[in-house]
Chain A
Amino acid sequence: MPATRLAIIDSGGANIASLQFAIERLGLPSDLTTDPARLHDASHVILPGVGAAADCMSRLEKADLVDTIRALTQPVLGICVGMQLLFDSSEEGNVPCLGMLPGRVQRFANRADLPVPHMGWNQLEFDASSPLLQDIASGDYVYFVHSYAVPVNDLTIAASQYGHAFSAIVQRGNVYGVQFHPERSARIGAQLLRNFLRL
């Protein structure tokens, strides 16, 4: 993949080092940046996110990146809160998000038998194939850490179950989102990142 020029948006979250290392293990360089020109010129862009949606959005706003991200036409992958930010809004802090995908991020209902955050390994479920899912099977485990999720909708290409089904992977056009952490999902996570970088 010599032409791959991956930019990682420096959204200030704590998982950025993990993500950089995961890309490094694939043998690829990455460019951690908030520079609109470098994001624009990248072949692929990843938007990581950890923490509260409102904090992440305000960091993007402060870096004046909202319009830049919305205008990206190359493959864009949101991870965890980064995926949630791609939607219209989040129930977390009732915050408007990037609006690149339609829908609202919702909190998991409090249930005695289901601890929140949903934290740990859980299975992907999907029927239809997708370039992002190449060499990944329905039933494979990936690592989740989140209290909010996107309900299953038309954009869902893989779901997971936690009390009810929620979106584990979404896609519309060039915009992709994964609710789990591929950088911490062992072989399956590495495969997903590899698939994304081949798009």
Chain B
Amino acid sequence: MVVGDILELAARYREAGADELVFYDITASPDGRSVDRSWVRRVARILDIPFCVAGGIRSVAEAELVLGEGAEKVSINSPALTDPELISRLSARFGAQCVVVGIDSQTAEREYLVYQFTGDPDRTRNTARRTLDWVREVQDRGAGEIVLNCMASDGVRRGYDIAQLAAVRKVCNVPLIASGGAGTMDHFTEVFTAAQVDGALAASVFHSGNIAIPDLKQYLHQQSIAIRV
């Protein structure tokens, strides 16, 4: 996506009442390259809601650049699995509130297991780490928020993985954001009430226009879910 499109999309979601935006460059980690960050400052200029930058952040210096340009948070996923100490370093330097850890997880061998490099199907690998153990570890290391992407639900639009999210919620004392599976407005109600998550992330249903954010927020408000409308 070119920068002009990013800015337009950011402005559109802001106008629609999105509470937070996450900008993913999902191909950054598998390619072993860094992302061109010149757009971060331009986004920060126009956005008056919080936003998070994810993808290819592998060092304190890289995070410092992104945060200094005006992002509220950085989200790390694959680099945290390669170098778990990175979470500790980021948290010590910027505070837990800036450090989001993204986790890609799915059931394998009758357990929830963490996957790495999910941005590239050819390089995606099962790390053999138990998701619940990793959730505990990243918190101990100073993560201030966890985004749990349930891979089997992702892109299918049949609802969030409530069972997995509820299991993670039990061991997660920092804000937990559900990702993967949103298809209808009821899916959002369900994930907030049944899995007790703090936030719900969705991409395709918003990008496609299938669900309009103002309608969704009004709907959730009517369902007595605390949300800014």
Contact = CB atoms under 8 A, between A and B. Distances in A.
Q: Do A and B bind each other?
A: yes
A149 to B, nearest CB: 13
Given A14-B68, A115-B198, A120-B19, A184 B48 contact: yes
Nearest to A145: B97
A50 B95 contact: yes
A25 B44 CA distance: 11
A119 interface: yes
A119 B97 contact: yes
Contact of A117 (B64, B97, B228): B97
Interface string A1-39: 000000000000011011001101100000000000000
Contact of A141 (B41, B48, B72, B228): B228
Interface in B199-229: 199, 227-228
B96 A18 contact: no
Chain B interface residue number, banded? 20 to 34
Contacts of B48: 22, 25, 183-187, 189-190
B44 A145 contact: no
Contacts of B69: 17
Given A14-B68, A143-B50, A21 B98 contact: no
Interface string A100-118: 0000000000101001110
B49 A186 contact: yes
Size category, A interface: 20 to 34
Interface in A137-153: 141, 143, 145-147
A146 B64 CA distance: 19
Given A184-B48, A185-B48, A119 B144 contact: yes
Nearest to B45: A21
B176 interface: yes
Interface string B162-180: 0000000000111110000
A114 to B, nearest CB: 9
A147 B48 CA distance: 22
Task: Tell which of B64, B227, B228 has the most Cβ of chain A within 10 Å.
Answer: B228
B45 A24 contact: yes
Contacts of A24: 45
Contacts of B227: 121
Given A24-B45, A117-B144, 20 more contacts: A14-B67, A14-B98, A15-B72, A17-B69, A17-B70, A21-B44, A25-B45, A25-B48, A112-B173, A115-B172, A115-B173, A119-B144, A120-B19, A120-B175, A121-B19, A121-B227, A146-B97, A183-B48, A186-B48, A187-B48
Interface of A: 14-15, 17-18, 21-22, 24-25, 50-52, 110, 112, 115-117, 119-121, 141, 143, 145-147, 181, 183-187, 189-190
14 contacts: A17-B44, A18-B70, A50-B97, A50-B98, A115-B172, A115-B198, A121-B19, A121-B228, A143-B50, A145-B97, A183-B48, A185-B48, A185-B49, A186-B48
